[in-house]
Chains A and B, each alone.
With several copies, the nearest count.
Chain A
Amino acid sequence: MLGAIGVDSIEALFDEIPDRLLCGTLEAMPTAVSEVDASRLMSARARLDGVPTCFIGAGAYDHYVPAAVWQIAARGEFYSASAPCQAEASQGTLQLLYEFQSMMAALTAMDVSNASLYDGASALAEAVLMAVRINRKSKSRRVLVPKSLHPAYRRVAGNIVRNQGIVLEELPYDPAGGHIDPVLLQQYDGLDITALVIPQPNFFGVLEEADTLVEWARVNGAVTVAVVNPLSLSVLSPPGEWGERGVDICCGDGQPLGAPLSSGGPYFGFLCCRQAFVRHLPGWIVGRTLDVDGKTGFTLTLHARNRRTRRSGAASNICTNQGLMVTAATIHMALMGAEGLSRTAASCHSNTLRLGERLSMLPGVSIRFDRPVFHEQVVTLPVAANGVLRTLAAHNVLGGLDLSRDYPELGNAILCCATERRTAEEIEIFTGRLERAVALQGGAPCRLQPKGW
């Protein structure tokens, strides 16, 4: 090959790089190891972290993923496929994405869905940008964002939209209910509000009065953006049906649909909207069309293609999305069906209620909010959460998320979640350990006798 090129060494091919820039051997980069050695290292590190029993939710949920999902998603033909730029050679991926869009539309009761964004938080940022683009009448660029929305989502949205003069204004939550009290919105009546964000369930697991909020927004000319857990939509009212006409935009994180926890990613964000706004929807969108013989086929459509070509007017910079996670989610939804998803959701819900019941029987421990919850809930401890959680972790139980950093006003509060994978026995172990951990921190005395845990 060198002969054909007309050079006598590979090095010669790099002769346009100025010599003084060449870096030479990178001594600080380790030398190669074999797959066996890599496996030894990685297994040891994995073992170090172990698999504690997880009662943390807070945006990432320990659901069971049926084995079929990843066995199929991991097929080389999905896994190693490039982006579906050549539609005719990517009908597998494209039809799957069309099916994904269809299922997300069905689940959210919205008209259309895109083919994914990075994650739920960045999807919210895109949703806010989209709301600003849509709401031409509004000049304020003021977006109301409840404090009961996931703190990381609020931060991410802020970081991404910050440089475009958009103001995210915090809506406080009701101290008793943990939700947005609709009365509170009256102060904004008649003001120029560009958009209202509505989490459902919210970060505390609490259910918002979604219908009322949507109606308020409609009357006040604010675009509505729902942030939802897709699994919850198998049992809760879908955003497309909130209020009289449903929300305008709906986004969230697809993790509960087949993505393992895997330290926070890859998951995927989804974004759905009304048909009228489809030309503002960022990310890839797949459309059904015909080939020259009149046969049905699928292709990327709308600006998705153009974004890669045109250098101006692009409203979002998204190119790569989370294709493989969407592949898994699509298989997951097809496999579970609405029936299966609602069974999982119901099972999570009853586990969470059982957990709440057990924990709140401990002295000094109580459920923080009095509104109905889905999937997770805030529990108040009689002592600082930090130490208690550390003690639990030492016994291989991750007892929940410490809320003191993001919500100091809640005192010793933790956010707890029990998915369908948690057993009654694990809930008992958690309860027992929590009681003793609290006692250890100088809280209420231990009522239970050690049972050989």
Chain B
Amino acid sequence: MRKTRAALPELSELQTVQHFTRLSRKNFSVDTALQPLGSCGTRYTPRGADSLAMLPEFLARHPEAPEGHSQGFLACLYDLQEMLRVVTGMQGISLTPAAGAQGEFAGVAMIKAYHAARQEFERDEMLVSAADHGSKQASVVMCGYKVRSIPTKPDGDIDLASLKTMLGRRTAGVMLTIPSGLGVFDRGIEAVAALVHGVGALLHCDGVNLTAILGKVRPGDMGFDVVHLDLHKGFFAPHGGGGPGAGPVGVSASLLPYLPVPIVGLAGDRYSWLCEQERPESIGRLSAFAGNAGVLLRVYVNLLMLGREGITRVAEYATLNANYLLKELMKAGFEAVHPDRRATHEFGVTLRRQVRELEVSSRDISKRLLDYGVDAPATWFPPIFPECLLLKPAETENKETLDRFVGAMKSILKEAETDPDLVKGAPYRLPVRRLDDVRAARDLDLAWKPANG
């Protein structure tokens, strides 16, 4: 038995409501910030998708409810599997990974299982694009592989020559993001796929940016063996201040047996769970039940409402917005990372020149953007391009908002020229001024204690 009561707050309902309502108002968010530039790919979730995913019966459904009490729910998941199969062009889908990183892990684990089934144990390397996201390193290591980095050419596409020299009998797979983390579509993707498959390795796609090409071109058609999606980024599930997500994986025929469980099956008109017993070669389950079911339902409803026409429209409008914004920023004197390429739904702007000439960093500029009511993009990604702003205007932004953003960037540039300290001191108009990260990491204060008030 517990001896002393846990030191939780003891508040009235009104005090609780007031406290958290006030906290909420300190956040930027899609619903409130002036120009949310799709940081982390955050998108608006239609309120209808949200409500319909939370019908009382769905909220009350126990994960171990018998299939007889689950046909409605399973039908939704099954339909979602089918929709994702169609839009990715893959052969099979498992919805269960809880986020992009877990989907990424599942992909690598399936590749491992595939080679293991072929007894090709000498394959111990994963080749990862140099422009890629940090989580890949960890996902690969978690599967017992070594990582090697594939260089990209100045135009952003994979350097095929280098790739050729790196591929071999030790290659288990190659991991790319398409469109890439800098928003370019790799024009040599078919050649890449051919080379990879040529050595018996598999091609792994980070689908976090798939929204940009939805309904235009599909990973399955490009030759990928596995793709994971980030439903809370490109697929309209809410971001919730950092989650929950969902990271379904789609696979080509060669990886079908290894898909993580559970999967929803259909026999006649009856839906059922396919689990470890039914799918003995599966890499298994990755969470206690079936992943973030509530997120999946939201995405399902949203895809229903978007339909065939809608998904293409999303890709088109997002791409239109990005290319317009890129052009306007270039007109305003900013330098594109890949000036000769089309933007997809995002693009990089490098502030190298400004940083050199004006002694403000891209971080200063992004903090100053906050004062303009813009939820500024992260400045530490992609790692190979320092002092770069990655911009991803969602398809829901309109021209006025984009023009306002360009206006803000222009005036910040002017501020940086005339009064750099102003920019360096930003932000000024938020609940706090610039925070001391170094202090946070050094004098760790991670939990309230009576002593530290």
Chain A residues within 8 Å of B284, by CB: 155-156, 158-159
Please determine whether A29 and B1 come into contact, CB atoms closer than 8 angstroms.
Answer: no
Q: Which of B14-22, B163-171, B197-205, B249-257 participates in binding chain A?
A: B14-22
Please determine whether B288 and A253 come into contact, CB atoms closer than 8 angstroms.
Answer: yes
- Say if the beta carbon of B440 comes within 8 Å of chain A: yes
- Say if the beta carbon of B161 comes within 8 Å of chain A: no
- Say if the beta carbon of A48 comes within 8 Å of chain B: yes
Q: Which of A80-88, A135-143, A422-430, A441-449 participates in binding chain B?
A: A80-88
- Say if the beta carbon of A191 comes within 8 Å of chain B: no
Contact of A287 among B61, B184, B311, B444 (CB under 8 A): B444
Chain A residues within 8 Å of B267, by CB: none
Q: Mark B62-99, 1 if CB is under 8 A from A, else 0.
A: 11111011111101100000110011010000000011
Chain A residues within 8 Å of B24, by CB: 72, 75, 77-78, 92
Interface residues of A in 6-48 (CB under 8 A from B): 6-7, 10, 13-18, 21-23, 25-35, 38-39, 41-48
Q: How far, in angstroms, from A321 to B309 measured CA to CA in the complex?
A: 32
Q: Mark B16-55, 1 if CB is under 8 A from A, else 0.
A: 1101110111111111110010011010111111111101
Known: A43-B55, A234-B6. A324 touches B238 (CB 8 A): yes
Please determine whether A86 and B366 come into contact, CB atoms closer than 8 angstroms.
Answer: yes
In the complex, what's the smallest C-beta–C-beta distance from A236 to chain B, in angstroms? 6
Known: A48-B72, A266-B293, A317-B142. A289 touches B8 (CB 8 A): no
Please determine whether A261 and B27 come into contact, CB atoms closer than 8 angstroms.
Answer: no
Known: A89-B370, A327-B241, A337-B10. A26 touches B308 (CB 8 A): yes
The total of Cβ contacts below 8 Å across the A-B interface reads 617
Residue of A nearest to B342 (CB): A16
Q: How far, in angstroms, from A390 to B134 measured CA to CA in the complex?
A: 48
Please determine whether A92 and B26 come into contact, CB atoms closer than 8 angstroms.
Answer: yes
Interface residues of A in 101-153 (CB under 8 A from B): 101-103, 105-107, 109, 111-113, 115-116, 118-122, 129, 150, 152-153
Contact of A265 among B26, B293, B436 (CB under 8 A): B293
Please determine whether A88 and B430 come into contact, CB atoms closer than 8 angstroms.
Answer: yes
Q: How far, in angstroms, from A423 to B289 measured CA to CA in the complex?
A: 27
Chain A residues within 8 Å of B134, by CB: 307-311, 314
- Say if the beta carbon of B332 comes within 8 Å of chain A: no
Please determine whether B294 and A241 come into contact, CB atoms closer than 8 angstroms.
Answer: no
Please determine whether B311 and A324 come into contact, CB atoms closer than 8 angstroms.
Answer: no
Known: A60-B62, A92-B27, A118-B102. A38 touches B383 (CB 8 A): no
- Say if the beta carbon of B185 comes within 8 Å of chain A: yes
- Say if the beta carbon of B301 comes within 8 Å of chain A: yes
- Say if the beta carbon of A62 comes within 8 Å of chain B: yes
Please determine whether B431 and A268 come into contact, CB atoms closer than 8 angstroms.
Answer: no
Q: How far, in angstroms, from A115 to B83 measured CA to CA in the complex?
A: 33
Chain B residues within 8 Å of A118, by CB: 98-99, 102, 244, 286-287, 292
Chain B residues within 8 Å of A129, by CB: 142
Please determine whether B7 and A47 come into contact, CB atoms closer than 8 angstroms.
Answer: no
- Say if the beta carbon of A409 comes within 8 Å of chain B: no
Contact of A49 among B10, B47, B65, B245 (CB under 8 A): B65
Please determine whether B383 and A315 come into contact, CB atoms closer than 8 angstroms.
Answer: no
Chain A residues within 8 Å of B440, by CB: 287-289, 299, 301
Chain A residues within 8 Å of B451, by CB: none
Known: A14-B319, A235-B1. A111 touches B21 (CB 8 A): no
Q: How far, in angstroms, from A121 to B370 measured CA to CA in the complex?
A: 38
Q: How far, in angstroms, from A150 to B59 measured CA to CA in the complex?
A: 23
Please determine whether A5 and B327 come into contact, CB atoms closer than 8 angstroms.
Answer: yes
Please determine whether B21 and A76 come into contact, CB atoms closer than 8 angstroms.
Answer: yes
Please determine whether B294 and A266 come into contact, CB atoms closer than 8 angstroms.
Answer: yes
- Say if the beta carbon of B356 comes within 8 Å of chain A: no
Interface residues of B in 417-445 (CB under 8 A from A): 425, 427, 430-437, 439-441, 443-445
Please determine whether A89 and B28 come into contact, CB atoms closer than 8 angstroms.
Answer: yes
Q: How far, in angstroms, from A125 to B2 measured CA to CA in the complex?
A: 27
Please determine whether A265 and B98 come into contact, CB atoms closer than 8 angstroms.
Answer: yes
Known: A28-B86, A155-B276, A314-B135. A49 touches B69 (CB 8 A): yes
- Say if the beta carbon of B268 comes within 8 Å of chain A: no
Please determine whether A77 and B213 come into contact, CB atoms closer than 8 angstroms.
Answer: no
Please determine whether B287 and A72 come into contact, CB atoms closer than 8 angstroms.
Answer: no
Please determine whether B289 and A60 come into contact, CB atoms closer than 8 angstroms.
Answer: yes
Q: How far, in angstroms, from A322 to B23 measured CA to CA in the complex?
A: 18
Known: A13-B323, A163-B109, A337-B9. A32 touches B306 (CB 8 A): yes
Known: A23-B221, A290-B436. A265 touches B292 (CB 8 A): yes
In the complex, what's the smallest C-beta–C-beta distance from A305 to chain B, in angstroms? 8
Residue of A nearest to B367 (CB): A88
Q: How far, in angstroms, from A105 to B341 measured CA to CA in the complex?
A: 50
Contact of A10 among B20, B308, B311, B320 (CB under 8 A): B320
Please determine whether B26 and A290 come into contact, CB atoms closer than 8 angstroms.
Answer: no
Please determine whether B26 and A81 come into contact, CB atoms closer than 8 angstroms.
Answer: no
Please determine whether A4 and B190 come into contact, CB atoms closer than 8 angstroms.
Answer: no
Please determine whether B216 and A393 come into contact, CB atoms closer than 8 angstroms.
Answer: no
Residue of B nearest to A161 (CB): B142
Contact of B285 among A42, A77, A152 (CB under 8 A): A152
Please determine whether A86 and B72 come into contact, CB atoms closer than 8 angstroms.
Answer: no
Please determine whether B60 and A51 come into contact, CB atoms closer than 8 angstroms.
Answer: yes
Chain A residues within 8 Å of B448, by CB: 98-99, 102
Chain A residues within 8 Å of B3, by CB: 237, 241
Known: A118-B102, A323-B242, A324-B243. A35 touches B381 (CB 8 A): no
Chain A residues within 8 Å of B447, by CB: 98, 101-102, 105-106, 111-113
Q: How far, in angstroms, from A56 to B36 measured CA to CA in the complex?
A: 43
Q: How far, in angstroms, from A275 to B446 measured CA to CA in the complex?
A: 10
Q: How far, in angstroms, from A222 to B366 measured CA to CA in the complex?
A: 47
Q: How far, in angstroms, from A309 to B385 measured CA to CA in the complex?
A: 11
Please determine whether A35 and B48 come into contact, CB atoms closer than 8 angstroms.
Answer: yes
Known: A76-B17, A80-B30. A237 touches B2 (CB 8 A): yes
Interface residues of A in 318-372 (CB under 8 A from B): 318-325, 327, 330-331, 333-339, 341-342
Q: How far, in angstroms, from A135 to B128 measured CA to CA in the complex?
A: 30
Q: How far, in angstroms, from A122 to B308 measured CA to CA in the complex?
A: 35
Interface residues of A in 171-210 (CB under 8 A from B): none
Please determine whether A156 and B341 come into contact, CB atoms closer than 8 angstroms.
Answer: no
- Say if the beta carbon of B299 comes within 8 Å of chain A: no
Please determine whether B320 and A81 come into contact, CB atoms closer than 8 angstroms.
Answer: no
- Say if the beta carbon of B295 comes within 8 Å of chain A: yes
Known: A33-B304, A54-B65. 4 other contacts (CB 8 A): A47-B57, A119-B289, A301-B437, A301-B441
Q: List 7 A-B contacts (CB under 8 A).
A: A88-B370, A156-B287, A237-B3, A295-B433, A314-B135, A317-B101, A323-B241
8 nearest CB pairs, A to B: A264-B289, A32-B307, A324-B240, A264-B63, A76-B31, A45-B72, A323-B242, A317-B138
